[in-house]
Structure 1
């Protein structure tokens, strides 16, 4: 279980003072998860902001990645981060701010250029409200499926079940030909994030689906999910999402980030099924500015490897989803 330390409290409180909601991926706990998975983490107090920086490689060939940061996404904070990176002798800096595309001109002025996104660039954020208000905002099919699951006796348990989450996500990963996390990686998130739980949908004691949800700074995040594929007619994935949304609302969260959708409803897109599932929960479609790279030294950056290598390393440990 997560043991809160004074440094963690101060860091997360500082983020909350700088942005509302503060980004989960800049939280102290998220840095602890990434440290366990092989990154070096440096938490930087900038002149006008904060940045949790993930480092790969050794100086002078080190590369840095700042997921959903710095905080705030101001020119002053970005400039302070660039100055820190130069003074630290880094070869390359990648940022992926939680900011709209309008930040692009600022990043260009600071010498950044667009790169391959690691985190979801497009997402859907669902406002949390009373049961009646939320259900009314969902598509009719989603309301029907939620009520069907409840009527047919699908129950959802909130807890810490990394083994069951792994079993469910592995079943989905096998069907879709994708890679998801290990049991140990799920366990680390449950232990180290400020608030993180599994929601397991069961029917007559048999687990049918599971999701992983984190809360931070008044926002809930659906990070991972999967289902065995058994008894899909009972709609266990809808029941799990509904339970997580209601629990987040009751815990004081204002909204629920569904963590990634395709850029448009293209039936040929490999994530079209994900689009259909998530868009039915209503909410606000949000697009971020994506990832941006700054080459701090051309010869050292060549020695450090290209941006694609950093992206590949990041994707080994950052979030993916399945249904």
Structure 2
């Protein structure tokens, strides 16, 4: 019996399926789709049913590419009980697609190493993902002492130094947003990165925790000032560090001279891992490391910091399904537009990661 895509309007029932299936992601959660509305994009949610049983879920974000042509995008999706079902989703998608839908892009959340990534899965063909393909994930199981022992020796020293300096790590919700936003915007300006309007992040923080998922902020403060922090979106057993950064403490020290480095970024990462473990998550996704290492780029320093916390380097590949004979031209046009945007913002045609 073929798979069916059944539209669903019940946010809590939808998120229940997303949270319990093994191949899943918080970006397929209801709250992430609501945040995308702030960008002028429209989410549609489906349950994948086989003989009346929910065997998956799919959140498709409809994005206007050019007049008359839309993209259906499943961020880190679809959610599945088995990757073996992925080829069977294509005919079901063709039935629900509109006339203007020219292409479907998916990012099935099954982590792989490069040599194990297939170029095709049934009718799906390998393509560039929108979310970072390369990341580091840490298994939070076991004792805290084992996690600490897995850190690079420099990271362990900095964790201890931050403790001696009195760095405090806190987590919470909207009450921490303004402190996060100060750090996030300063980091983006320093590294010449882009950002969405503030309403996008506020909506994700509110809606991401409203229907069965989790969205929260972690900050590292020293002397009452937040110096590093991040935004997390979680579902099921995995939490994802989506946005964040750090700022320099430019306040004078107690003796009037330059203030010593309190190692707040290291304290933030370590504290966020312990906070995630306390929340019951088993996997910590650092969310994005560079495809190619370049010591001259901001992303290289971020990569080195994340690598210091142990974990496994994995890929989350993207795949596409053509719905129109013009889709190859559209894909090339999108790549050109992205390159021009990179040139305008940072003076380089290359992507951030």
Normalising by the smaller structure, the TM-score range is: 0.7 to 0.9
Deviations 1:228-267 (A, max 9, x none): 2225711111111222111111111112110111246553
1:162 aligns with 2:164: no
- Correspondence 1:178 to 2:193: yes
SS where residue 202 of structure 2 aligns?
Answer: helix
User: Runs of 5+ in structure 2 lacking a partner?
Assistant: 1-7, 50-54, 250-258, 343-350
Match 2:151 to one of 133, 138, 156: 138
Change (3 A) 1:87 1:302: farther
Cα distance in 2 for residues equivalent to 1:235 and 1:149: 5
| 1:215 lines up with 2:227 in the alignment | no
Structure number with bigger Rg: 2
Question: Hey, what does 1:262 align to over in structure 2?
Answer: 290
Q: Name the structure 2 match of 1:66.
A: 74
Any gaps of 5 or more consecutive residues in structure 1?
none
The 3-state SS of whatever aligns with 2:79 is coil
Q: Tell me, yes or no, if the aligned pair for 1:213 and 1:244 is still in contact at 8 Å.
A: no
More helix per residue: 1
CA contact (8 A) 1:126 1:282 kept: yes
Query: 2: CA distance between counterparts of 1:263 and 1:299?
Result: 29
Distance of aligned partners of 1:303 and 1:117 in 2 relative to their CA distance in 1, 3 Å threshold = closer
Provide the alpha-carbon RMSD of the alignment: 3.1
SS at match of 1:57: strand
Q: Which residue of 1 aligns with 2:118?
A: 104
Contact kept in structure 1, 2:290 and 2:352, CA below 8 Å: no
Match of 1:119 among 124, 131, 135: 131
- Counterpart of 1:271 in structure 2 is 299
**2-side partners of 1:232 and 1:113: how far apart?**
52
Residue correspondences, number: 308
Indicate if the aligned counterparts of 1:51 and 1:81 stay in contact, CA closer than 8 A.
Answer: no
In 2, distance between residues paired with 1:306 and 1:86? 26
